[in-house]
C-alpha cells in the first residue's frame, strides 16, 4: 500500500505544482493583459459610406469591408456552421475546452503533427481583438487568460456575435455580413445552406480555401463543414446529401452601389479625410448623406454624356482603336471568335462604350463581335456619321459605303442607343454640369467630367475657365443699379474709343460682326451683343462693376482691371457661376453651396448636420402672445377648420418652414433688380418682336423653347476662338450651369460643316455656348422638370409694368406690334412718349392682374 500512498503524494504534489505554475504564469503575464471590458463598447472598423439624399449608396471607402450584424439578425444555420466547425462545445466550456486540448495533445503525440486545433471561439476572439498571431508559448498563455476574462464578462451570444463580425474571411471581407455580399452578392438571410458552409469554412485559411480563387479546395472544405454539422445534429442526412451536390456559385461582388456618382463621392471622401484623418475616416463607420438627388444626378450624367458624344461625332471619326488583323495583307487570316473575345476582355469599357471587333463589312452595314461574345449589326444610320476627322475645324466628305469607314479586323468602340448599336469613339472634349437649389445652395447634381476612370479632375470645382458672355447678366446688374432700365437704349455700334489699360488698343467686336444702332438693354442682353455690354460697363464704372462681381462670389484675383471683364475674360469655376446665377433665381440672395446634408456614425447617431443659408430675410423678433389670445386662435382653428398661422409663420412667409438647423443668406442685390435680370434672361430663350410683321428676333438660347415652358431663364457664353462654351439657366427651383471645352486651354472647339445624305456640305458654323453647351442644359432641364408644373413668379413690390415703344423705349399709346409691356422699378419708368402724348390709356398695369410673367 506504500506505493499507492507515494503515488497519491506525487499526484497532489504535481497538482500543487500545476496550480502554482498556472498562478505564476498568470502573475507573469498579468501586467501585459489588456482590459477585456473594452469589448463591451468595442467599435468594429467599418468602411466610409456615401449616400444620396434619398438614401442610395454612392460609394464605399476603406480597405476592410464589414457589415456589422446583431446575432438575432444572423440565420441560425450559419451560426451552427461556425460552431460545428470551429468549436462544437462552445456553449459547454468556460473559454478553454479541456477535452479539445487533450484531444489535440493526443493527436500531436501520436502523429507528431498539429492536425487538430484546440483554440475555442472565445480564444479566437481574444486573439483577434488583443493579440498578434505569433506562435509563441507566452502568446498562448495570454490567450488562455484573456479568454477566461472574456467568459466572465460577456454572455456566449455576445462572444459569438463579436466573433462572426470580426473574423477575416478573405477578399477584404471581415465578418459574415461582408462575406455574404462579397462572395454571393446577398444578405446573410438570403444565403443557402451550402453557401453558409462555404463561409463557415473560410476562417481556417481564407486565401487557400477561397471559393473564387480556389474553388476545388473551397468545395472540399465546405463538405467537411456540412459533415460536422450532420455529426453534431444540426442538419439531417438528407440535407447533407443535397448540400454537397450544390455547385460553387461564388463570384466576386463589389459594394452594392446604387448610384454611380464618383465626382461627388470623391468630394465627400476628401472632406472626411481632411476633417477626421484618413484612418478614422476609413474605419469609423461614418455614413455621409449628401444633398444629391439620385434622379437629377442620373439626368445630369446622361445629358452630359450624350452632349459630349454629339460634339465628338459632328467633328468626325478618328479611326479604330487598334487593328487585330490586317485584311490588306495576303498572309493575314481572320482571328477566331475565342481569340477575339480574349483580346477584347483585356480592354475595359469606358462609360457606356464597349470594345468590339469588326468581322464583316457589307455595303451599308457592319457586323461586329463584342467582348461579351455577342454579335451585333450596325445599321447605316448608326455609322454614317463617321466622316473622317481632319482637324477640329475640318472634316472629310460624307461616307457613301460602310467600307469608307471600317475594315474587318479593326477594334472599335460601340454603344447602345435605344434598341440599336452605334459606332462610337472615346470623346476627347471635356464637360461639366452642376445644379443647385437656389433657395439654400444644396448641390442637387454634379458631374465633373465625362469619365472619372479616365480623369479624376473635377471640372466643376477645379477648372478655372474664362466665362465669356455668361458674365453679362452681372455687368447689366451693375448698370441697372446705376439707373439703367430694361428699356434704356444702348448704342449697338462699333467702339471707337479703345480701352488702353491692357497695354494694347482693345476694340471689342460683336459676334457676328453686325451692328444695329441704339437697342434696348433687354434685347442687348438676350442677344448677347458685345459692344452694348462694354458700354453698360462704362456707364456703371469699372470699379463699381468689379465690386459687384466680387459680391456675386467671383475672386477679385481673377477680375482684370480693364474693360475685358464685360465680355467674360475672368477665369471662374462652374461652381462659382451656378452660385452667382442662383441670386437671380432666389430674389437677390447669395447662397453658399453645400453638398453634405448630414454625417452619422455606424449606429446612425448624428455626428454633423449642415446649417445651410436660406435665401430669405431673417425673421424679426415677435411680440409675446398672451395665453388667452393663443387659446382663441386655437379654438378658431379647431372649430371652423381655419388654418391660422402663428406670428412666426406670418413674418417668415417667404422662408422655408424647415425645422432643420439653418442660417440666412446675405442679400446682395434687391428683389427688384433680381426680377428685372431674370425677366431679361427669359427673353434670351423666348425672344421678342412680331415675326409676322418682320420685327421678330431670337435670343441666343432660343433652342430652349423646345422645353415649352415660360418659367425658364438662361444665358449662353462663348470665349475667343470658342475655347470655352457655357450655358447657365434656371427656373424658381433649379439652377444649372454647363461648361464644354478641352482641358488643354489652347485647343479650340472648332467648327463643323453638316453633310446631308447626298454628301453636299452645308455650313454649320463655329461651336458656341448655344450650340455646344446649351443642348446639355436643355436635355437636363427637360428631364429634371418632367411632370413639374410651371412656377412663374409674381413681380415683387416696387415693380410696375408700362407699355413702351419697342424702337425707342419710350411710353406709347399704341397696342400693336410696335409696343410691349416692360417692367420697371417704380420711379424709373420713362416719362416721354413716342407717340400721342395726350392719350395716356393703357400705360400702367396692375401687377396683381398679370397673367404672364414675361411678355
| 277 contacts: CB under 8 Å, gap ≥ 6 | none
| Active-site residue, selected from the candidate residues 52, 59, 86, 294 | 86
Give the residue among 492, 343, 374, 352 at the shortest CA–CA distance from 422.
352
Block residue for cell numbers 397673367: 851
Is the preceding peptide bond at 63 cis, omega within 30 degrees of 0?
Answer: no
Please state, in angstroms and rounded to a whole number, the distance separating the CA atoms of residues 451 and 557: 31
H/E segment holding residue 629: helix 627-640
Give CA separation, 669 vs 68, 665, 730, 798, in Å: 51, 12, 18, 14
| Active-site residue, selected from the candidate residues 147, 294, 370, 469 | 469
Radius of gyration for the chain, computed over Cα atoms and rounded to the nearest angstrom:
37
* Helix 176-184 with 193-200: angle, nearest 10 deg: 120
Sort strands 410-417 and 420-424 into parallel, antiparallel or unpaired: antiparallel
- Expressed in percent and rounded to 5, the helix, strand and coil fractions of the chain are 40, 20, 45
Other C-beta atoms lying within 10 Å of the C-beta of residue 827: 7
Other C-beta atoms lying within 10 Å of the C-beta of residue 43: 13
Contact predicate 595/263, CB 8 Å: no
Other C-beta atoms lying within 10 Å of the C-beta of residue 816: 8
Number of H helices, E strands in the chain: 23, 31
- Give me 620's grid cell: 424679426
Contact predicate 148/22, CB 8 Å: no
**Is residue 469 annotated as part of the catalytic site, yes or no?**
yes
Give me the torsion for CA of 387, 388, 390, 395, rounded to 10°.
Answer: -10
The phi, psi pair for 11, rounded to 5°, reads -65, -45
**Is residue 679 annotated as part of the catalytic site, yes or no?**
no
Residue 425's Cβ-count burial label (10 Å; 0-12, 13-18, 19+) is buried
- Give me 365's grid cell: 452595314
- Give me 168's grid cell: 477575416
Please state, in angstroms and rounded to a whole number, the distance separating the CA atoms of residues 360 and 753: 30
DSSP annotation of 720 reads G
**What amino acid positions are annotated as catalytic residues?**
86, 469
Amino acid at each position: 500500500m506504500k506505493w499507492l500512498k507515494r503515488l497519491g503524494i506525487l499526484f497532489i504534489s504535481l497538482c500543487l505544482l500545476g496550480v502554482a505554475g498556472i498562478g505564476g504564469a498568470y502573475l507573469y503575464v498579468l501586467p501585459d493583459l489588456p482590459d477585456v471590458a473594452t469589448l463591451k463598447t468595442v467599435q468594429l472598423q467599418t468602411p466610409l459610406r456615401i449616400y444620396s439624399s434619398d438614401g442610395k449608396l454612392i460609394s464605399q471607402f476603406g480597405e476592410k469591408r464589414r457589415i456589422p450584424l446583431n446575432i438575432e439578425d444572423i440565420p441560425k444555420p450559419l451560426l451552427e456552421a461556425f460552431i460545428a466547425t470551429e468549436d462544437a462545445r462552445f456553449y459547454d466550456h468556460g473559454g478553454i475546452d479541456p477535452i479539445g486540448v487533450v484531444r489535440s495533445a493526443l493527436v500531436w503525440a501520436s502523429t507528431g503533427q498539429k492536425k487538430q486545433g484546440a483554440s475555442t471561439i472565445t480564444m479566437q476572439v481574444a486573439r483577434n481583438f488583443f493579440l498578434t498571431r505569433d506562435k509563441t508559448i507566452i502568446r498562448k498563455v495570454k490567450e488562455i487568460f484573456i479568454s477566461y476574462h472574456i467568459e466572465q464578462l460577456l454572455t456566449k451570444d455576445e462572444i459569438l456575435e463579436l466573433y462572426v463580425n470580426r473574423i477575416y474571411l478573405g477578399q477584404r471581407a471581415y465578418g459574415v455580413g461582408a462575406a455574404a455580399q462579397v462572395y454571393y452578392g446577398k444578405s446573410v438571410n438570403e444565403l443557402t445552406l451550402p453557401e453558409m458552409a462555404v463561409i463557415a469554412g473560410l476562417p481556417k485559411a481564407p486565401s487557400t480555401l477561397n471559393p473564387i480563387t480556389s474553388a476545388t479546395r473551397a468545395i472540399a472544405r465546405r463538405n467537411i463543414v456540412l459533415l460536422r454539422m450532420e455529426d453534431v445534429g444540426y442538419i439531417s442526412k438528407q440535407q447533407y446529401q443535397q448540400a454537397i451536390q450544390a455547385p460553387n456559385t461564388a463570384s466576386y461582388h463589389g459594394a452594392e452601389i446604387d448610384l454611380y456618382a464618383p465626382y461627388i463621392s470623391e468630394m465627400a471622401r476628401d472632406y472626411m479625410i481632411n476633417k477626421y484623418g484618413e484612418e478614422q475616416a476609413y474605419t469609423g463607420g461614418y455614413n455621409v448623406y449628401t444633398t444629391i438627388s439620385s434622379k437629377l444626378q442620373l439626368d445630369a450624367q446622361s445629358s452630359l454624356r450624350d452632349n459630349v458624344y454629339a460634339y465628338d461625332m459632328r467633328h468626325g471619326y478618328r479611326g479604330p482603336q487598334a487593328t487585330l488583323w490586317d485584311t490588306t495583307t495576303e498572309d493575314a487570316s481572320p482571328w477566331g471568335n475565342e481569340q477575339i473575345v480574349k483580346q477584347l476582355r483585356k480592354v475595359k469599357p469606358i462609360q457606356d462604350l464597349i470594345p468590339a471587333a469588326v468581322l464583316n463589312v457589307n455595303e451599308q452595314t457592319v457586323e461586329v463581335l463584342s467582348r461579351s461574345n455577342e454579335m451585333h449589326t450596325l445599321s447605316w444610320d448608326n455609322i454614317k456619321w463617321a466622316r473622317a476627322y481632319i482637324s477640329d475645324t475640318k472634316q472629310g466628305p460624307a461616307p457613301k459605303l460602310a467600307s469608307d469607314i471600317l475594315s474587318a479586323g479593326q477594334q472599335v468602340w460601340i454603344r447602345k442607343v435605344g434598341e440599336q448599336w452605334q459606332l462610337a469613339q472615346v470623346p476627347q472634349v471635356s464637360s461639366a454640369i452642376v445644379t443647385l437649389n437656389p433657395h439654400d445652395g444644396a448641390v442637387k447634381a454634379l458631374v465633373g467630367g465625362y469619365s472619372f476612370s479616365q480623369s479624376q479632375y473635377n471640372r466643376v470645382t477645379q477648372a478655372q475657365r474664362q466665362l465669356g458672355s455668361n458674365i453679362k447678366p452681372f455687368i447689366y446688374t451693375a448698370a441697372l443699379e446705376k439707373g439703367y432700365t430694361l428699356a434704356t437704349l444702348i448704342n449697338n455700334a462699333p467702339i471707337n474709343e479703345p480701352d488702353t489699360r491692357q497695354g494694347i488698343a482693345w476694340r471689342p467686336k460683336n459676334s457676328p460682326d453686325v451692328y444695329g444702332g441704339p437697342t434696348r438693354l433687354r434685347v442687348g442682353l438676350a442677344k448677347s451683343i458685345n459692344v452694348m455690354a462694354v458700354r453698360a460697363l462704362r456707364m456703371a464704372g469699372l470699379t463699381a462693376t468689379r465690386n459687384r462681381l466680387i459680391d456675386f462670389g467671383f475672386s477679385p484675383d481673377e477680375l482684370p482691371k480693364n474693360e475685358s471683364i464685360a465680355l467674360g475674360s475672368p477665369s471662374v469655376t462652374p461652381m462659382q457661376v451656378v452660385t452667382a446665377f442662383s441670386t437671380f433665381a432666389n430674389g437677390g440672395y447669395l447662397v453658399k453651396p453645400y453638398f453634405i446634408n448630414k454625417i452619422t456614425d455606424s449606429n446612425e447617431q448624428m455626428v454633423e448636420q449642415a446649417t445651410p443659408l436660406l435665401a430669405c430675410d431673417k425673421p424679426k423678433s415677435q411680440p409675446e402672445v398672451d395665453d388667452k389670445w393663443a387659446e382663441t386662435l386655437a379654438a378658431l382653428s379647431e372649430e371652423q377648420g381655419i388654418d391660422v398661422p402663428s406670428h412666426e409663420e406670418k413674418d417668415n412667409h417667404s422662408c422655408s418652414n424647415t425645422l432643420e438647423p439653418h442660417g440666412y443668406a446675405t442679400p446682395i442685390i434687391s428683389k427688384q433688380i433680381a426680377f428685372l435680370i431674370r425677366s431679361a434672361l427669359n427673353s434670351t430663350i423666348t425672344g421678342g418682336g412680331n415675326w409676322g410683321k418682320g420685327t421678330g428676333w431670337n435670343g441666343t438660347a432660343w433652342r430652349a423653347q423646345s422645353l415649352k415652358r415660360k418659367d425658364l431663364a438662361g444665358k449662353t457664353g462663348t470665349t475667343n476662338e470658342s475655347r470655352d462654351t457655357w450655358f447657365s439657366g434656371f427656373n424658381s427651383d433649379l439652377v444649372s450651369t454647363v461648361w464644354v471645352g478641352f482641358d488643354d486651354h489652347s485647343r479650340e472647339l472648332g467648327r463643323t460643316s453638316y453633310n446631308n445624305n447626298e454628301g453636299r456640305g452645308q455650313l454649320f458654323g463655329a461651336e458656341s455656348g448655344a450650340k455646344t453647351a446649351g443642348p446639355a442644359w436643355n436635355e437636363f432641364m427637360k428631364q429634371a422638370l418632367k411632370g413639374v408644373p410651371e412656377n412663374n413668379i409674381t413681380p415683387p413690390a416696387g415693380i410696375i409694368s408700362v407699355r413702351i415703344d419697342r424702337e425707342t423705349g419710350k411710353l406709347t399709346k399704341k397696342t400693336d406690334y410696335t409696343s410691349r409691356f416692360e417692367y420697371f422699378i417704380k420711379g424709373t419708368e420713362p416719362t416721354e412718349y413716342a407717340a400721342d402724348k395726350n392719350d395716356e390709356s393703357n400705360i400702367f398695369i396692375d401687377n396683381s392682374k398679370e397673367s404672364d410673367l414675361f411678355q
